[in-house]
Chains A and B, each alone.
Chain A
Amino acid sequence: MTERTEHVTCTFCGCLCDDITVEHEDGRISSVSRACPNGRAHFLDYAPAPRLPRIRGEEASWEEALAEATRILNAARSPLLYGLSSASTEAIRKAVSLADRLGAFVDSTSSVCHGPTGLAMQAVGEPTCTLGEVRSRADLLLFWGCNPAASHPRHFARYSTTAKGRFVPEGRKGRTVIFVDVRLTPGARSADLFLRVDPGCDFEVLTTLRALVREKPLREQEGVCLGGVSLGVLRDVATRLKSCRYGVAFMGMGLTMTRGRDVNVAELFRLVAELNTYTRFSVIPMRGHGNVTGADQVLTWQSGFPFAVSYARGYPRYGPGEFTAVDLLRRGDADAALILASDPAAHFPSRAAARLASIPTVVLDPEESLTARGATVWLPTGKAGIDVPGSAYRMDGVPLRLRPFLAPRRPSDEEILGRLLEEVTP
Chain B
Amino acid sequence: MIRIRGGCIVDPANGVDGEVRDLWIQGGRIVAPPSPPVSEAEVLDAEGMVVLPGGVDLHSHVAGGKENMGRKLRPEDHREHVRPREGSLRSGSGFTVPSVFLSGYLYAEMGYTTVMEAASAPLFARHAQEELEDLPMVDKGLFITLGNNHFVLECLARGEEELLRNYVAWLLRATGAYAAKVVNPGGVENWKWGRNVSSLDEEVLSFGVTPRKILSGLAESVRKLGLPHPLHVHGINLGQARSAGTTVDTVKTLDGLGGHLCHLQFLSYEEAGEGSSLFRSAASRVATALEATTLSLDVGQIVFGGATTMTSDGPLEYALHRLTGAKWINDDVEGEGGGGVLPLSYDRRSRLSAEQWITGLELFLLLRDPWRLALTTDHPNGGPFFCYPQIMRLLMDRSYREEVIATLPPKVRSGALLPSLDREYSLSEIAVITRAAPARILGLRNKGHLGIGADADVALYDRVFTDGTPCRCAKYPSCRRALSRVRHLVKGGEVVIRDGKIVKEVSGRRLCVVPPFDESLEPRLRKQFSETYSVAFENYALEEGEFPHREVVPCSKT
Contact = CB atoms under 8 A, between A and B. Distances in A.
Interface of A: 6-7, 9, 18-19, 89, 93, 97, 100-101, 103, 118, 121-133, 135-137, 158-159, 166-167, 245-246, 273, 276, 279-280, 282, 296-297, 300-306, 311, 313-318, 391, 393, 397-401, 403, 426
A132 B130 contact: no
A316 B82 contact: yes
8 contacts: A7-B536, A125-B321, A125-B341, A128-B331, A129-B330, A300-B72, A315-B92, A391-B130
B123 interface: yes
Given A121-B73, A401-B539, A401-B543, 16 more contacts: A19-B536, A128-B330, A130-B331, A130-B333, A273-B321, A276-B330, A280-B332, A301-B67, A304-B98, A305-B78, A315-B82, A318-B79, A398-B534, A399-B124, A399-B127, A403-B539
Taking residues whose C-beta sits less than 8 angstroms from the other chain, chain B's interface range is 35 or more
Contacts of A300: 68, 71-72, 99
- Which of A129, A246, A398 has the most chain B CB atoms closer than 10 A to its own CB? A398
B328 interface: yes
A318 B75 CA distance: 8
A133 B193 CA distance: 12
Contacts of A131: 334, 534
B78 A302 contact: no
A89 B78 contact: no
A313 B79 CA distance: 13
A313 B83 CA distance: 10
Nearest to B94: A304
B99 A304 contact: yes
B556 interface: no
Given A246-B193, A297-B127, A301-B63, A122 B73 contact: yes
B329 interface: yes
Contacts of B127: 297, 393, 397, 399
A123 B327 contact: yes
A301 B123 contact: no
B468 interface: no
A133 B332 CA distance: 7
- Which of B71, B98, B533 has the most chain A CB atoms closer than 10 A to its own CB? B71
5 tightest Cβ-Cβ pairs between the two chains A and B? A132-B334, A125-B327, A132-B534, A129-B332, A304-B93
A97 B130 contact: no
B124 A397 contact: yes
B332 A301 contact: no
B333 A133 contact: yes
B329 A136 contact: no
B498 to A, nearest CB: 22
Given A136-B335, A246-B193, A125 B91 contact: no
Contact of B534 (A135, A282, A304, A315): A135
Contacts of B329: 121, 125-128
A399 B342 CA distance: 23
Given A301-B63, A301-B99, A303-B99, A129 B75 contact: no
Contacts of B538: 6-7
Contacts of B532: 132, 136, 166
A21 to B, nearest CB: 11
Contacts of A400: 126, 535, 539
Interface string B317-342: 01001000011111111110010011
B279 interface: no
B84 interface: yes
Contacts of B131: 301
Interface string B409-439: 0000000000000000000000000000000
Nearest to A159: B534
- Which of A9, A167, A303, A311 has the most chain B CB atoms closer than 10 A to its own CB? A303
Given A9-B539, A398-B124, A133 B192 contact: yes
B91 A311 contact: yes
Interface in B523-545: 531-536, 538-539, 542-543
Contact of B318 (A89, A130, A276): A276
B218 to A, nearest CB: 22
Contacts of A318: 75, 78-79
Contacts of A158: 534
Interface in B321-371: 321, 326-335, 338, 341-342
B445 interface: no
B192 A303 contact: no
Contact of B533 (A132, A280, A306, A317): A132
Contacts of B85: 100-101, 103, 311, 314-315, 426
A403 B94 CA distance: 35
- Which of B75, B124, B534 has the most chain A CB atoms closer than 10 A to its own CB? B534
A313 B126 contact: no
Contacts of A166: 531-532
A316 B93 contact: yes
Contacts of B535: 18, 132, 398, 400
A123 B341 CA distance: 13
A126 B331 CA distance: 9
A426 B87 CA distance: 9
A399 B130 CA distance: 10
Contact of A304 (B75, B84, B328, B334): B75
Contacts of B333: 129-130, 133
A122 B74 contact: yes
A128 B72 CA distance: 14
Contacts of A391: 126, 130
A401 B547 CA distance: 12
Contact of B90 (A100, A126, A128): A100
Contacts of B342: 125
Contact of A302 (B67, B83, B84, B101): B101
Interface string B203-242: 0001000000000000000000000000000000000000
Contacts of A246: 192-193
A257 B101 CA distance: 34
Contacts of B332: 128-130, 133, 280, 282
A306 B127 CA distance: 15
A401 B546 contact: yes
Interface in B42-57: none
B532 to A, nearest CB: 7
A198 to B, nearest CB: 30
B515 interface: no
B84 A313 contact: yes
B117 to A, nearest CB: 12
Given A19-B536, A279-B194, A315-B82, A303 B126 contact: no
A423 to B, nearest CB: 14
A313 B342 CA distance: 30
A412 to B, nearest CB: 16
A273 B328 CA distance: 8
A100 B91 contact: yes
Contacts of A122: 72-75, 327
B492 interface: no
A297 B68 contact: yes
Contacts of A121: 72-73, 329
Contact of B193 (A118, A280, A302, A315): A280
Contacts of B543: 401
Nearest to A245: B193
B52 to A, nearest CB: 30
A399 B126 contact: yes
B100 interface: yes
Given A127-B329, A302-B101, A296 B130 contact: no
B172 to A, nearest CB: 18
A129 B101 CA distance: 28
B318 to A, nearest CB: 6
